[in-house]
Amino acid sequence: MSDTEEDNEISFPVKFLGRVEVVRSDGLKILSEAAQSLKTPDQFSSEKAARKSKVHLFLSLSGIDILENKTKFLLYSCPLSTISFCAVLPSSPKVFGFVARHPAADTNHCYLFQSQAFSHVLVSVIGDAFRASKKEESIRGGRDLIVEALRHKNKVLQRENEELKRRLVGQSN
């Protein structure tokens, strides 16, 4: 586990078990079904062919990036706003995963990983990052509302000022 301060990212070395398209966006049952699906061989699936490779899981307030260990090639990138569920697989405590909505398609994918020591920690950290991201969005959204309210108030005051100027010019004539 390493922490790069300048990027506010945390990196975990894990084993990537695979990515599976799922029908629902949450629940331990979905996680279990995805893990079971990965156990069944499928020679036509590139998703399953790329599994069981060492990767680095980079977690930041913007999302989760999955990078191939040796080449640092970006395999997947999931914005935190697309992640709907994250948990440790109850039947296998070293396995954890998360479900994310595909940004362009109307589908959900379950990403499964194995970690010898960090499964519970990672699920907790992903949950914390998700909550922090939502809090930051809400603060940012609140600031946007305040800015819009101030702009509106400014326009109202400008119109009122123009009207008073017209009245003043009309009284002096």
CATH code for the domain of 103: 2.30.29.30
pLDDT (0 to 100) of residue 11: 84
Q: Look at residue 30 and tell me if it is in a domain.
A: yes
Q: Look at residue 154 and tell me if it is in a domain.
A: no
Average the pLDDT over 62-72 and give the result. Answer: 89
Segment 21-61, tens digit of pLDDT: 998 877 888 888 888 888 876 544 545 445 578 999 988 87
Segment 118-153, tens digit of pLDDT: 788 888 888 787 777 766 665 555 555 556 556 666
Q: What pLDDT band is residue 155 in, cutting at 50, 70 and 90? A: confident
Q: Look at residue 72 and tell me if it is in a domain.
A: yes
* Domain membership of residue 56 as a residue range: 10-133
* pLDDT of 12 strictly over 80: yes
Count of domains for the chain: 1
Segment 70-112, tens digit of pLDDT: 888 999 999 888 888 888 998 888 999 999 988 777 889 999 9
pTM of the model: 0.68
pLDDT (0 to 100) of residue 148: 59
DSSP codes of every residue in the chain: -EEETTTTEEEEEEEEEEEEEESSS--HHHHHHHHHHHHS--TT-HHHHT-SEEEEEEE-SSEEEEEETTT--EEEEEEGGGEEEEEE-TT-TTEEEEEEE-SSSS-EEEEEEE-SS-HHHHHHHHHHHHHHHHHHHHHHHHHHHHHHHHHHHHHHHHHHHHHHHHHHHHHH-
Q: Look at residue 138 and tell me if it is in a domain.
A: no
pLDDT (0 to 100) of residue 51: 52
Q: In terms of pLDDT, which residue wins out, 111 or 3?
A: 111
Q: Look at residue 161 and tell me if it is in a domain.
A: no
Q: Look at residue 24 and tell me if it is in a domain.
A: yes
Q: Look at residue 147 and tell me if it is in a domain.
A: no
Q: Look at residue 66 and tell me if it is in a domain.
A: yes
